[in-house]
Amino acid sequence: MRIACDRLVLPDGELTDVVIDLDSDGIVQSWSTGSPAATPDLAVALAVPAFANTHSHAFHRLLRGRTNSGGGDFWHWREVMYAQAGTLDPDRMRFIATAVYSEMVAAGYSAVGEFHYLHHRPDGTPYQAHDMELALAEAADTAGIRLTLLDTLYLQGGLGRPVEGAQARFTDGTVARWHERWRSLRAALADAHPTVVLGAAIHSVRAVGPGHLADAVAGLPEDVPLHVHLSEQTAENDECLAATGVTPTALLARAGALSERTTVVHATHLTDADVTMLGGAGVAVSMCLSTEADLGDGLGRAADLRDAGARLTIGSDQNVVVDPFDELRRLEGGARLAAHRRGVLSPDELWRAGGIQGHIALCPLGAPVRALRVGHPFDLAILDARSVRTVGADPHELMLAASADDVLGTVVRGTHRESAHLRAVAVANYLRAEAGHGQ
């Protein structure tokens, strides 16, 4: 596919009259500035590198606009979420994931990390053929998004407490059985969905106790992306300190879980020592700003984490909002509120947080990054430069002005997907998921 861009905004500057040749996998074959030698397959006025969504729970989309009455906190919201989790079978999972993944591509995301723990039937009985995981892979294929499936270890309902209720379908019972299912899933995906990246996740230190963390990490290939919820709630920190004498960050560090292949999710309530440990390990941090605001989690320490050496990325988490521009505005907005000044994170840092740093967090360690380089994968989000939000804006600052509605289409793996069509697919599949409720 040959793409001609009048303007291509990259983190370190803007290129004009760019011509990019991509193969069917979205790998850059060549690129140049100047007029194309032949008529392009796609000509666009304004484009940016496509965004990476480093943290999603697709089924949470079913809660959008349904949990705001009556107040409450994260723990109250979690009970509502658990009730929804109990309604899902593979068909309903496929429909809702197709809906939310289509919405993501329509918004300019080309890759998603799906933090997945609904492995089994509601009573904990295993599916025979990775039915829930393959439903997610099928949804990603339909939507056209690059999927990193973060298969999640979940062993207990809290430090020292057994799983109960909806959590029965989350657990494999032991680390060894999780590793066994993970390896079996890897083989199944290689056969049926070879483009899916299989990563791994430790749900949290609440769900995987200190006696199991090191074994969980040691049993995985060293290049596999490893994600973990970290310190989203102060209650999690208090419980961990009471049980172990250290913070969740220190507990993960002790188990060898923090490294360049690790992405910690939220990391909202950190001590100074936690920040130093995370930065020193070179982790990525998935900050899910719309979710953290929706649940009243608190403001994370974005600038401190950046200064310590961590790599900032964004996630949509519960998918109340699917809009990378909104996440990036909230990222900088939160940093401004904390620092009482503007420009805490520069535009180039925000572009990297929304793009390349997120893509790295979703790829095996050492894999080619998604960048405008020959031999590397590269995806594009095509923007409307003349909407009421974008007209007149400095292109380098568009992440602070545009919205998902300004994305006209996204090029993923060398295929152009129009946003209007994808939004219709999202609505249709959401309605199919609702129609399947209770069947």
Tell me the per-residue pLDDT of 78-99, one tens digit each, with 9 for 90 and over. Answer: 999 999 999 999 999 999 999 9
Residue 35 clears pLDDT 90, i.e. is over it = no
Return the number of other C-beta atoms located less than 10 Å from residue 384's C-beta. 17
| Residue-level pLDDT at 439 | 42
User: Is 266 designated active site?
Assistant: yes
Q: How far, CA to CA in Å, does 429 sit from each of 308, 419, 424, 436?
A: 42, 15, 9, 11
List, for residues 234-247, the tens digit of each pLDDT value. 999 999 999 999 99
| Residue 165 φ then ψ, to 5° | 60, -130
Higher pLDDT, 437 or 384: 384
Q: How far apart are CA 330 and CA 11, in angstroms?
A: 18
Cβ contact 231:117 at 8 Å:
no
Residue 114 clears pLDDT 60, i.e. is over it = yes
| Residue-level pLDDT at 34 | 83
Strands 28-33 and 2-10, bridge-based pairing:
unpaired
- Of 21, 317, 379, 406, catalytic: 317
State the average pLDDT over residues 156-182: 96
What secondary structure does DSSP assign to 204-272, as a single string? Answer: -TTTS-HHHHHHHHHTS-TTS-EEEEES-SHHHHHHHHHHHSS-HHHHHHHTT--STTEEEEE--S--H
Q: What percentage of the chain reaches a pLDDT higher than 90?
A: 94
| Residue-level pLDDT at 36 | 65
| Residue-level pLDDT at 378 | 97
Tokens read off for 361 = 């967090």
Mean pLDDT of the chain: 96
3-state SS, residue 145 = coil
- Half-sphere exposure at residue 44, Cβ-oriented, CA atoms within 13 angstroms: 26
User: Is 116 designated active site?
Assistant: no
Quote the Cα angle for 439-66-90, to 5°.
Answer: 30
List, for residues 345-362, the tens digit of each pLDDT value. 999 999 999 999 999 999
- Of 179, 193, 266, 396, catalytic: 266
State the average pLDDT over residues 302-317: 98
Q: How far apart are CA 423 and CA 107, in angstroms?
A: 9
Ranking 35-39, 162-166, 326-330 by mean pLDDT, the lowest is 35-39
Helices (H) and strands (E) in the chain, counts: 14, 15
CA 218 vs. chain centroid, Å, equals 24
| Residue-level pLDDT at 437 | 66
Strands 380-383 and 42-49, bridge-based pairing:
antiparallel
Q: What pTM value is reported for the model?
A: 0.97
| 62: confidence class by pLDDT, cuts 50, 70, 90 | very high
Q: How far, CA to CA in Å, does 355 sit from each of 181, 245, 361, 371?
A: 31, 37, 10, 9
| Residue-level pLDDT at 414 | 96
Return the number of other C-beta atoms located less than 10 Å from residue 58's C-beta. 28
Q: How far apart are CA 90 and CA 185, in angstroms?
A: 15
375, amino acid identity:
G
